[in-house]
């Protein structure tokens, strides 16, 4: 699948640079030709000699050889590659790439590359989550670059969270999927190739007045992870998202932003009829204010009464509209009688699968990077999973979807 492909690997100054050695070794083992371009700061973490021996090619880091005067042609390198993979990519290099700065050979190669560019961020948790970094990553996605989302785990600082460069084995596997999806692997297909999938994610906000609203603590992390994993498996993904700070790293995902339960209802019904699978992971408000005030409500007394009315039940509506060839996946977040309530939801809403998690499980639920789930099908068969990162949980959920496709 990768045999004969030309991979240009960019290495930058991160502690994760040691992984570049393993990455080169794996790529060479797959039959690729690998060339390496590295920044000067990367040399503090791994030597050019190491990468040269493993790749069986010279390593480039300067525009020219000061001894011979020979020019390292960045244009030629950019044209040579089938994929330019920057791994690890520091916050600094991501910021420079997004701004078009060109103060080293690696950046010059990036600006010259005509092939797909993959970027694997590696940095500490707070650096990765900083709005500046997230904005830079979104710019890279808008340029058509592929972001290899960092993994969740222990970081060099001692913190635990998202920011670790993805493991070399995973990156190589995703490269294989890339070439397969783009017609380099004969008749082999990704499991969700040519499938259309609708995903909902995040909370909904129901306005009380122009300032206040009723909402919930959903961050959208689980839904976004599912959307990303579905796209990796070849699906055409439509992501309907309530208010969320989460970002899309796969530029093939079509994101539709909504705010209220009514807006999510309308968008879901609009797209549902044309999809093969619907994964309804959004935490939609069950109630909304009967009346929304046009002006901010002033504090005039010790009490205030707010009348709430039910919102439309999106999942139940889709269950009624579902065709025989469609797969409908619901979610249940429970605090008591978890299994019984989830099974009841399957019956009442005509679901094929339900993903159950409990707020009684430490590390599961809203605004955390982990989750612990049970998957139950329409025959009430259930599979329990251990606590995992939400990215790993997304893999389990998508695997269950693939296994249950009609």
Residue 295, judged by CB atoms within 10 A of its CB (0-12, 13-18, 19+), counts as: exposed
**Residue 363: half-sphere exposure toward Cβ, Cα within 13 Å:** 12
Which among 198, 327, 202, 203 has a CA at the least distance from the CA of 253? 198
Q: Encoding tokens for residue 5?
A: 């492909």
Do residues 12 and 38 lie in contact, with contact meaning Cβ atoms separated by under 8 Å? yes
Q: Encoding tokens for residue 290?
A: 């009967």
Which among 364, 392, 23 has a CA at the least distance from the CA of 228? 392
Tally of residues, the chain = 406
Q: How far apart are CA 231 and CA 253, in angstroms?
A: 7
- Output the CA torsion 106→107→113→118 (10° steps): 80
β pairing state of 308-310 and 287-289: antiparallel
Active site residue 65: no
Given the residues 216, 341, 350, 404, the one annotated as active site: 216
Output DSSP code: residue 262: H
**Residue 278: half-sphere exposure toward Cβ, Cα within 13 Å:** 28
Do residues 401 and 277 lie in contact, with contact meaning Cβ atoms separated by under 8 Å? yes
For 22, 32, 33, 149, 184, the CA distances from 4, given in Å and listed in that order, are 19, 5, 7, 26, 11
Q: Encoding tokens for residue 390?
A: 């939400």
What DSSP assignment string belongs to 4-37?
A: T-EEEEEE-SSGGGGHHHHHHHHHHHTT-EEEEE
Catalytic residues: 216
């Amino acid at each position: 699948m990768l045999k004969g492909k030309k991979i240009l690997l960019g290495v930058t100054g991160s502690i994760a640079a040691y992984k570049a050695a393993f990455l080169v070794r794996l790529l060479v083992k797959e039959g690729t030709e690998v060339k390496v371009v590295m920044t000067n700061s990367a040399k503090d973490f791994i030597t050019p000699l190491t990468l040269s021996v493993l790749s069986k090619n010279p390593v480039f880091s300067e525009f020219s050889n000061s001894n011979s005067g020979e020019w390292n042609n960045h244009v030629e390198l950019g044209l040579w590659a089938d994929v330019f993979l920057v791994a690890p990519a520091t916050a600094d290099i991501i910021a420079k790439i997004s701004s078009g700065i060109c103060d080293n050979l690696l950046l010059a190669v990036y600006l010259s590359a005509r092939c797909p560019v993959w970027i694997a961020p590696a940095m500490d948790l707070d650096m990765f989550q900083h709005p500046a970094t997230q904005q830079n990553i979104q710019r890279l996605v808008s340029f058509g670059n592929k972001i290899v989302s960092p993994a969740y785990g222990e970081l060099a600082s001692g913190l635990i969270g998202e920011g670790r460069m993805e493991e070399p084995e995973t990156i190589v596997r995703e490269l294989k999927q890339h070439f397969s999806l783009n017609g380099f692997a004969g008749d082999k297909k990704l499991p969700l190739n040519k499938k259309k999938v609708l995903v909902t994610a995040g909370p909904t906000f129901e306005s009380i007045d122009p300032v206040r609203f009723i909402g919930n603590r959903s961050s959208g992390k689980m839904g976004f992870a599912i959307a990303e994993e579905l796209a990796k498996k070849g699906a055409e993904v439509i992501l309907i998202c309530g208010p969320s700070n989460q970002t899309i790293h796969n530029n093939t995902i079509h994101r539709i932003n909504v705010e209220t339960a009514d807006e999510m209802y309308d968008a879901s019904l609009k797209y549902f009829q044309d999809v093969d699978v619907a994964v309804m992971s959004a935490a939609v408000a069950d109630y909304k204010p009967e009346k929304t005030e046009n002006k901010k409500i002033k504090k005039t007394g010790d009490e205030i009464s707010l009348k709430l009315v039910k919102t439309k039940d999106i999942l139940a509506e889709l269950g009624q509209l579902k065709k025989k060839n469609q797969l409908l996946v619901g979610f249940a977040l429970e605090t008591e009688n978890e299994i019984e309530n989830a099974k009841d939801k399957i019956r009442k809403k005509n679901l094929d699968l339900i993903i159950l998690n409990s707020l009684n499980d430490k590390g599961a639920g809203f605004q955390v990077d982990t989750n612990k789930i049970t998957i139950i099908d329409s025959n009430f068969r259930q599979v329990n999973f251990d606590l995992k990162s939400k990215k790993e949980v997304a893999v389990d959920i998508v695997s269950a979807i693939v296994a249950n496709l009609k």
